Structure 1
Amino acid sequence: MNISGNTIFIPGATSGIGLALALQLRAKGNTVIVGGRRTDLLDTIAAEHPGIDTVEIDTADPASITAAAKEVLARHPDLNVLVTMAGIMRAEDWRRPESFLATAEATVTTNLLGPIRLIAAFVEHLQAQPDATIMTVSSGLAFTPLKVTPSYNASKAAIHMLSESLRLQLAGTSVKVVELEPPAVRTALMPGQETSEFAMPLDEFVTEVVALIESQPDAKEIQVERVKFLRYGEARGDYDQVVATLNAADPHGK
């Protein structure tokens, strides 16, 4: 992915990593469209950051994805980058089925079906562009599980394998598939995460991500240094130790 000159749609970017990434990509000379469910946040972003376009979208709703895709492509026919940012992360206790099933289903709908439906809505258009990118968003937890978030871990592992598979299918087209793999980052994804010492500062994370995109335009996976502990435990042969360390150190894993 080139660092500048793109038209980029980022659904799920009204806060956290999505918004921070949108702002830094805009500063690098890209046209950026931010998508989200809450129109008040979209209005605030448009007012505070002139030049960033906004589109209402609920990635858990197939009809909303279809409508938003039509709106984005009508206003930005040169769109060439899709970042499937939207996601949720919630604790689950699988010892009590009545307490986790609805959460698990919502997690899979947002974190896995959402990106699948988004890619389906844009992939034909992207293949018609001379240079295009689909950026998926998995997690370090796709490779090392946090015990309190089973469905989140599973959904992100599925995104990793989806990314690997799409890259194979889209080989020979103009579309690159890039997987962003965040560690824990100081956002509101989980209660207490914004102030967690375990989590990486948001600005530091996004600055490193943008630097990696700029220095490695052909990268298949975007990995800040902090995520490699989780990403490569199995390859290093210390997977069991990584699992134990993660679940002892992360306050959300207690």
Structure 2
Amino acid sequence: MQLTGNIVLVTGGGTGIGRGLAEAFHRLGNKVVIAGRRLELLKEVSQANPGIEYMSLDQGDAGDIRRFAIELKDHHPDVNVLVNNAGIQRVEDITSGGPGTAELTIAINLLGPIRLTAAVLHQLLGKPHAAILNVTSALAFMPTAPVPTYCASKAALHSYTQSLRFQLRDSAVQVIELIPPQVQTALQGQRGFEGMPLDEYISETMTLLETEPQADEIVVKRARGFRFAERDGAYDDIYPVYNEKMVAAAKRRP
């Protein structure tokens, strides 16, 4: 991936990994546009980083994605990098309650990036150095029981990303999957889960993008154990121990 001279769109750019990536690309001299539902957070990022622009986007709403794509083409026709980062993570008790949380999670975490990619792909196909970066999770490869639909949505996005990459193999659009470990962001709330410091994750990710410009996946060191657990024959040993720990932590949450 070309790291400079881009016009980068980052969804979920108001907080967490999205904000970290947006600011990192901005520091490299790229023009950055962030998008999300909470305009006050987007405005805060823009004010802290003069030059970053922001747009409203409810990724869980198919109609709003269509509206957003039209406005994006009108105001930022030269966007050549799409970072599908926006997502939610909710604790679910599968044994009680309805599927509302699961449906919302799938709408935002899976249908959202699929719909947005489809809506802006025609813009990217005409650019010489285009890229789509899909942010999945190490939990796509080592699901944690308290957040089952989140893990399922990220596993599905991983699969979609592979197919997207293959279908675009003869185009100028590079498809990259970012696979973070658990990172210290507001996504996990106050559930007491340990995570990689956000600044460290962003720094290592940007270094990997620079040193491995043709990589299909960007996997920081802390995520490799989960990402490659099945390949390395470690999945059956890690899964029960890890999930007992996560269930215990979820029970202690406020």
* TM-score over 0.5 for the pair: yes
Equivalent residue number for residue 242 of structure 1: 238
CA distance in 2, matches of 1:179, 1:215: 15
State the 1:191 CA deviation. Answer: 2.3
For the Cα contact (< 8 Å) 1:93–1:100, is it kept in 2?
Answer: no
Equivalent residue number for residue 199 of structure 1: 195
Uncovered stretches (5+) of structure 2, i.e. residues with no partner? none
State the 1:213 CA deviation. Answer: 0.5
Paired residues for 1:23-42 under 5 Å: 23-42=23-42
For the Cα contact (< 8 Å) 1:14–1:41, is it kept in 2?
Answer: yes
CA distance in 2, matches of 1:114, 1:252: 29
CA distance in 2, matches of 1:252, 1:221: 30
Equivalent residue number for residue 92 of structure 1: 92
- Whether 1:73 aligns to 2:86 is no
State the 1:253 CA deviation. Answer: 5.4
CA offsets, 1:129-154, max 9 Å, x none? 11210111111011111011111111
State the 1:100 CA deviation. Answer: 4.5
CA distance in 1, matches of 2:142, 2:175: 22
The one-letter code of the counterpart of 1:200 is M
For the Cα contact (< 8 Å) 1:186–1:202, is it kept in 2?
Answer: yes
For the Cα contact (< 8 Å) 2:2–2:129, is it kept in 1?
Answer: no
Equivalent residue number for residue 229 of structure 2: 233
SS in 2 for 1:79: coil
Equivalent residue number for residue 107 of structure 1: 105
State the 1:244 CA deviation. Answer: 2.4
Equivalent residue number for residue 204 of structure 2: 208
Uncovered stretches (5+) of structure 1, i.e. residues with no partner? none
SS in 2 for 1:34: strand
- Change in Cα spacing, 1:252 to 1:119, as seen in structure 2 (3 Å) is farther
CA offsets, 1:83-137, max 9 Å, x none? 11110111111111xx241000001000000001110111111111112101111
For the Cα contact (< 8 Å) 1:7–1:80, is it kept in 2?
Answer: yes
CA distance in 2, matches of 1:239, 1:130: 40
Aligned Cα RMSD in Å?
A: 1.4
The one-letter code of the counterpart of 1:26 is H
Equivalent residue number for residue 125 of structure 2: 127
Q: Percent identity?
A: 42
CA distance in 2, matches of 1:220, 1:249: 31
Equivalent residue number for residue 12 of structure 1: 12
CA distance in 1, matches of 2:16, 2:233: 33
Equivalent residue number for residue 159 of structure 2: 161
Aligned length, in residue pairs = 250
Equivalent residue number for residue 187 of structure 1: 185
CA distance in 2, matches of 1:171, 1:47: 38
For the Cα contact (< 8 Å) 2:13–2:42, is it kept in 1?
Answer: no
CA distance in 1, matches of 2:240, 2:165: 32
CA distance in 2, matches of 1:162, 1:137: 12
- Change in Cα spacing, 1:189 to 1:69, as seen in structure 2 (3 Å) is same
